[in-house]
Structure 1
Amino acid sequence: MEPMASQDIALAGRFFQESGANKRRSRTTARGQDLDQATVEAFTRRLCNLLDTEDFFGRHAALSNPEKIERLFLASPEDKTQSDFNCAVSPKVRLQVPLLFQAVAGVMEEKSGSIIQSAAEINGEGFGRALLYSGRIILVIKSLRAGFPFPFTSQEKAIRYGVSCVEEGLTFLEKYNHMTALHGSFSLEG
């Protein structure tokens, strides 16, 4: 084995050992997953800020953040059954996809200090993709098949999905920065 390859393996092993030692404040959800409370609050705030930008005349400005998410973001059960029945995506789902990933990108920017961009698209049949990237690095990529996991009808599920995307992207960014710290970003190409 080449010395550089064995050194990278040693660095990767040390990274996974160190990352397991970091503990965060968390709360347990109904499914037993731990969610970082600060990330949940940041994601909720970002999502509400994006919903406020869509509310041109400020009709919903007096609502609390959970009420805004409920009225302006979540799909009704009728929208969900309509999407399931005729394999067409409702307008609510077409609104949810880019907003959710823009909120995720904003939270990742706050936490990492890097510029994170999002690109999300979904067609009328529910097929699409969402990318979160920083420069040339793709941090999160999600494929949407028949709109799944959208439409979100529960605030808890939407927040859990958004926070999991944030954590996935930040974990990959930390790993990438750690692996390229010694030799630079060009060491991983080729």
Structure 2
Amino acid sequence: MEPMAKEHSAQVVGALEGRALQKRRSRTGRKELDQEMADSFVRRLCNLLDTEDFFGRYAALSPQEKIVQQFLASSEDKSQSDFNCAVSPKVRQQVPLLFQAIAGVMEERSGTMIQSTAEINHEGFGRGLLYSGRVILVLKSLRAGFPFPFTSEEKVIRYGVECVEEGLAFLAKYKEVTALHGLLSLEG
């Protein structure tokens, strides 16, 4: 009976490992991004980066090169933030710019005025908030700076597009509720 017990336990362990592997794959298998929305987000982010480029040093660069040189943190910046648990200057730059770009795309898509507020303290705790009037559309908490600093253009675009989609879905869901007084009404 001992060989049968070992064989049975090996089958059970194999099945459990297979399920765990399948769960990991399902988490990493992300849905496709809306390419039009991603392009809008990149354009908005580059416009914001251009406004901070006072002397036009990066004017001749492609949008991807602008994002890499002006927005993304280097691996040294990321390790510095991880090492001393303090927020690097790159993160302090990334947080408000990212949420302003997201608000711009949402405004473009919905035709509604969207505002952004982003704050982060020296320890990396804070929030990013997108709202229209009194309706909060997106609220992201920052814990120890996570998910900042971004070091990959793909991650920035994915995060931005996901926030836009979340905000637009919330706006569409509550459009009827706020139709009586409007999103920007001061009446209750």
TM-score, normalised to structure 1, is: 0.79
C-alpha distance in structure 2 between counterparts of 1:71 and 1:185, whole Å: 41
> What is the CA distance between 1:33 and its match in structure 2?
1.6
1:42 to 28, 40, 43: 40
1:110 to 102, 105, 108: 108
Give runs of ≥4 in structure 1 deviating > 4 Å: 183-186
C-alpha distance in structure 2 between counterparts of 1:167 and 1:76, whole Å: 28
Deviations 1:78-103 (A, max 9, x none): 11111111000100010000000000
C-alpha distance in structure 2 between counterparts of 1:180 and 1:105, whole Å: 19
C-alpha distance in structure 2 between counterparts of 1:43 and 1:32, whole Å: 19
> What is the CA distance between 1:178 and its match in structure 2?
3.1
1:131 aligns with 2:154: no
What are the equivalent positions in structure 2 for 1:1-190 lying under 5 Å apart? 31-181=29-179
| Paired position in structure 2 for 1:7 | none
> What is the CA distance between 1:161 and its match in structure 2?
0.2
Which blocks of at least 5 consecutive residues in structure 2 are unaligned? 1-27
> What is the CA distance between 1:184 and its match in structure 2?
5.3
Deviations 1:97-119 (A, max 9, x none): 00000000000000000000000
TM-score, normalised to structure 2, is: 0.80
> What is the CA distance between 1:185 and its match in structure 2?
6.2
For 2:46, the aligned partner's letter is C
> What is the CA distance between 1:136 and its match in structure 2?
0.4
Q: Which has the larger radius of gyration?
A: 2
| Paired position in structure 2 for 1:4 | none
C-alpha distance in structure 1 between counterparts of 2:86 and 2:114, whole Å: 31
What SS class does the counterpart of residue 170 from structure 2 fall into? helix
Identity percentage of aligned residues: 74
* Pairwise CA RMSD: 1.8
Which blocks of at least 5 consecutive residues in structure 1 are unaligned? 1-29
C-alpha distance in structure 1 between counterparts of 2:59 and 2:182, whole Å: 44
